[in-house]
Amino acid sequence: MNDSVSGTRRRATKTGCAVEATMSVVGGLWKPVLVFHLLDGRVRFNALCRLTPNATPRMITLQLRELEADGVIRRIVYPEVPPRVEYELTPFGRTLEPVLISLRDWGEAFQSR
């Protein structure tokens, strides 16, 4: 069973450190970038693909599913033809905003060194 579905992703099972639990939810290259793009509000799937052109649509789909399973984002499907799908942060996901802003600021300072 996928860790995100079984609910073990947020547990720090290897080190007992809360940083491990955080990284199990938002670790990797694409998850924090996707969540960062959702800070401004709902975004359609294709727009997320355009915002992250180096990630394949399959990778984006997998990362979004894990974020949804962990309660960070919400997937909204509109009953239209063709179907329209949007993603937004949950209130729990919103709590990542200061973390992501700090990561962005640190990254900008690092790149300008």
Domain borders along the chain are 3-111
The neighbour count for residue 82, using CB atoms within 10 Å, is 6
10 band by pLDDT with thresholds 50, 70 and 90: low
What CA–CA distances, in Å, run from 110 to 54, 102, 107?
21, 12, 5
Give pLDDT tens digits for 41-95. Answer: 999 999 999 999 999 999 999 999 999 999 999 999 999 998 899 999 999 999 9
Beta strand 73-78 pairing with 43-44? unpaired
Is it the case that residue 3 has pLDDT exceeding 70?
A: no
* Nearest C-alpha neighbor of 30 from the set 70, 2, 69, 57: 57
Domain at 3-111, CATH from 3.40.50.970, 1.10.10.10, 1.20.1740.10, 1.20.58.340: 1.10.10.10
Q: Name the nearest CA neighbour of 35 among 52, 18, 13.
A: 52
In angstroms, the CA 68 to CA 46 distance is 17
